[in-house]
Structure 1
Amino acid sequence: MTVEKNEKLIILAVALGTILNPLNTTMITVALPAIQKDFQLSSTDISWLIASYFIISAIFTPLIGKLSDIYGRKLILITGLVLVVVSSILAPLSPNMPVLLAMRGIQAIGTSALFPAGVGIIRNTIQHNQNRVIGTLAVFATTSAAFGPTIGGMLIQFGGWPVIFYVNLPILAVAIGLTVIFIPKDKKDTATSYKLDGIGILLFSLFITTWMVFLLGLEQGVQFITLVIALILTVIFYMYEKRQDQPFINVNFFRKNLNVALIFGQYILSTVLFFAVLLSFPTFIQSVLEASSQTAGIVMLSLSIFAMIMTPIATRWIERKGYRMPLFISVLLGLVGVILLFTVKDHSVLVWIGVVLAVMGISNGIQNIGLQNLLYTFISVSESGIASGLLMTSRFIGNILASSIYGVAFATGMNENNMSIMAIVLVLVAVVMIPGMLYVTKHEKKSSKRMNQA
């Protein structure tokens, strides 16, 4: 009975932890020019600062999901929160790039613990509408990512780039307090045996990192040896994981659920479009248009507000018309948005930048909620946990790809010509999404009906 009374506070504790990973991945985007200047970094160095966070998150999110099953969700959640406290205090004191990378790495490990442990807590303690709560947390996380540049831009005015780490502390204080007081103690599950897939973890880490090295090296040309190694590691990882009883990444889940795999693919591509724009525009506004970080943050509001506004609108639209038309229109809007990137020049007015960002925000707002809800029509309740974890991994992969595109496109500097180079790549991504979206929504009514009957 006590747990039922405290359900809202438990959800709040989990939600506060959930927003920290996406918030910290995007707040730093406005700080990149200042960090680049202070440490005298290249665009490739900056890309590694961003991408390393996602690589670590992609590795540790499913890993910590397993650890939370073994050692208890509350313990893992508190441990993650404490790691973020440590990194948020020490990162601003970094004397050089390697130390800052290390602190960001600790932060990534800490924030990676919060979503899988939080989902486990929701599934164990919340009695009503579990899937809706979990889906809302995922949307909440993505929405908070969109607000990251605005929050970062406002804060940097008062204390430079280190402030973006200190902003975590009040959120952490509340989250830790609510977790300690209201989340029930972990109950040991002695009946279930758990096994960590050490080789799978190693192979996943190697192939993700190798692909990142290859992608960031494209500015000097195609590195065929690195490409071959990346392909071999990917195949070995797949072949090994499909034979495991308790795999690190459940590749058999994709094999048995083709539509689900394609939805994850669409989600990755959608994330590429959204994050590439989110990553590049704060720096473009500051470095090329010579606006302040505060102004950059305000302009970036156009992206986040329209993405947020479209979430409830798209939900109602989908309820009335189904998934096909809303998601198809969203990819067309995404294509329009990336085509508009060609109009972004070194003399563009900020209002026009806001219009371009608004189009991208509307597109992403529909896709984010639409794809997540579509995903849950194809899976059973018992598979919702693994689906939620894989959805987060898909987002990290999309972020890694977007970081690679950013690093290659702007390797010679932030300017309108390189913005056009990025736009060409993103147009190709948007074009690929059109037939993909038509395919994943082809059987929506049949799957929805099946899930309703189940």
Structure 2
Amino acid sequence: MTWLTRLTRPGRSIPTDDTFDRKLIAPMILGSILNPVNSSMIAVALIPIGIDLGAPPSETAWLVSALYLATAIGQPVVGRLVDIYGPRRLYLAGTALVGIAGILGALAVSVGALVVARVLLGFGTCAGYPAAMYLIRSEATRTGRDSPNGVLTLLVIASQTIAVVGPSLGGLLIGLGGWRATFTVNVPLALACLVLGALRLPRTRASARTTGLAGTVDLAGIALFAAMLVSLLLFLTTPQLSHAYLLAITVAAAAGLGWWELRAATPFIDLRVLGGNLPLLATYTRTLLTAVVAYAFLYGYTQWLEQGRGLTPTVAGLVLIPMFAIGVVVSAVTGRRTEVRGKLVVGAVAQVVACGGLLLLGPGTGIWWLVGLALILGIPQGLNNLANQNAMYHQADPTRTGSSAGLYRTFFYLGAISAAAANGAFLADRADTAGLHHLALFLGPCALLFLAVTLADRSLRRIGGSKDAEAPADHDPVPAGPCTSRSPGQAPRP
């Protein structure tokens, strides 16, 4: 029996129509993989792309930021559309766009064309995670039981933890077919998603309240949100006094976004709901900080391995394999328990230790030390993402599962954008040891803030308490209450 089967099997024999529909797992997991793999696989390809196309690091950095921006903007939009129209249509449209982006990237002859391909990848991969969360919630409603914790664990591995395998996969592909292979691989992945999605995802009716795209999606809110993110990223990429006008645009767009969202009939970001759900806001904050530390490591450490330590892209990818392996093992071992606070505390401490470990690296650091640091980094990858997702799942309004999941991913990629800006600032011209140490001094306070937010959030104690631990892990809903663990199909009580 495979580890995947063990993760998803029911705790006891129950009628077939009361169990999670296992045929949904393959398209859910494969669709969720597309975004994290593409977000991290480019890490080992940046230097080969720059050499081949004659582009400096300041230009190739946009290959990272472009996908993050597209994803941060697209996730809540697509999540809202999934809530309205169901997962099937968005899933199929998104994965088709991924295939087109893969072809465009493989044929590109300039960094500009690659940026366009990465933007399309960002939008195309937005559907996988909200669609999966929608299906998990709808299955819980259909069966009247909590969806198995093993399914949620698999989703965490597929949508977040697996990101750490990106550099290893990218290094292997570059060794076999050059950097273009990191784009070409999306074509067979997209085809597999299209086939599985068409065969297995259920057809659902659109909400009766839909009145066209403009009536169901807050286009003005999206535009203001995009203006805020783009102007902020442009300033962080080139933080100079002459570019202070970009900060002014950011502040103006943020103020306009807040004013508009409080008045919009169908807000892009429902500020009233978020303002009344402080535990969910804390989860989004932890998610952002998780991504800052994880992606700054993933890109900064990987580039340092190539330039500061002198490893080839393939060897650098191999050094990071333990990070992926430990992340998956930790997620698999702890995933059947709904308790989240202990996972977050251990993950936070591991992040602090890893940040300190960066300060000890140098051009002559031995391979085994590099592998050991990767092992430490795998612990928060397996714990923090899993715990944050489970917290969001129990804290979000069940009627807005798709959009809450999309906003969760938006905060994750806001953190990734911040990480990209930090890498650009500290490793601007070359990923040398001095720059890596400066990056570590920036990440240390982020890791400490993550720990502080976790310790201060008392609501986490109510998710997966002792009563949950004694109950069968895969079902038996617990009583609902404000900010507490509840059955996925059950709304919170006022």
Taking structure 1 as the reference length, what is the TM-score of the superposition? 0.91
How many pairs were matched up? 449
Structure with greater proportional helix content: 1
For residue 51 of structure 1, report the CA deviation from its aligned partner.
Answer: 0.9
Cα distance between partner residues in 1 of 2:389 and 2:296: 20
Q: CA deviation at 1:32?
A: 1.0
* Residue 203, structure 1, aligned to residue 224, structure 2: yes
Change in Cα spacing, 1:263 to 1:159, as seen in structure 2 (3 Å) is same
Equivalent residue, structure 1, for 2:195: 177
Unpaired runs of at least 5, structure 2: 1-14, 468-476, 481-494
Kindly provide the amino acid, as one letter, of the partner of residue 386 in structure 2. Answer: I
Larger mean Cα displacement after TM superposition, 157-166 or 373-382 = 373-382
> Separation in 1 of the partners of 2:447 and 2:290?
8
Contact 2:60 2:111 in 1 (8 A): no
Cα distance in 2 for residues equivalent to 1:178 and 1:6:
17
Partner deviation per Cα, 1:109-145 (whole Å, 9 max, x = no partner): 1111332234334544674444844564244211221
% same residue = 25
Question: Residue in 2 aligned with 1:7?
Answer: 21
Q: What's the counterpart of residue 165 of structure 2?
A: 147
In structure 1, the gaps of 5 or more residues are none
Asked if structure 2 preserves the Cα contact closer than 8 Å seen for 1:11 and 1:122, the reply is no
Residue of structure 2 equivalent to 1:91 = 105
Q: Write the distance in 1 (CA, Å) between the matches of 2:380 and 2:180.
A: 32
Is the aligned partner of 1:299 residue 2:319? yes
Partner of 1:330: 347
Residue 70 of structure 1 and its aligned partner are, at CA, apart by 4.9
Q: 2 CA distance for matches of 1:165 and 1:4?
A: 41
Match of 1:268 among 288, 292, 301: 288
* CA distance 1:144–1:252, shift in 2 (3 Å): same
The 5-angstrom pairing of residues 55-454 of structure 1 reads 55-124=69-138, 127-128=142-143, 129-130=146-147, 132=149, 133=151, 136-193=154-211, 194-218=215-239, 220=240, 223-315=243-335, 322-379=339-396, 381-440=398-457, 442-446=458-462, 452-454=478-480
> Is structure 2 residue 61 aligned with structure 1 residue 47?
yes
Per the TM alignment, residue 400 of structure 1 is displaced from its structure 2 partner at its CA by 0.6
Shift of the 43–189 alpha-carbon distance from structure 1 to 2, 3 Å rule, reads same
Farther-moved stretch of structure 1 (160-169 vs 135-144): 135-144
Judged with a 3 Å threshold, the aligned counterparts in structure 2 of structure 1 residues 78 and 270 are, in CA distance, closer, same or farther, namely: same
Q: Is the 2:137–2:398 contact (alpha carbons within 8 Å) kept by the matching residues of 1?
A: no
Displacement of 1:205 in angstroms is 0.3
Task: Classify the secondary structure of the residue corresponding to 1:112.
Answer: coil
Question: 3-state SS of the aligned residue for 1:414?
Answer: coil
Instruction: Report the AA paired with residue 298 of structure 2.
Output: L
The one-letter code sitting in structure 1 at the alignment partner of 2:197 is: T
Once the two structures are TM-superposed, the CA of residue 263 in structure 1 deviates from its matched residue by 1.6
Q: TM-score w.r.t. structure 2 length?
A: 0.84
1:144 is matched by which residue type in structure 2?
Answer: I
DSSP-derived class of the 1:404 partner: helix
Q: Structure 1 residues 432 and 222, CA, compared in 2 at 3 Å: closer, same or farther?
A: farther
The Cα of 1:204 is off from its aligned counterpart by 0.3
Kept in 1: contact 2:152–2:390 (CA 8 A): no
- Paired with 1:66 and 1:282, the residues of 2 have a C-alpha distance of 35
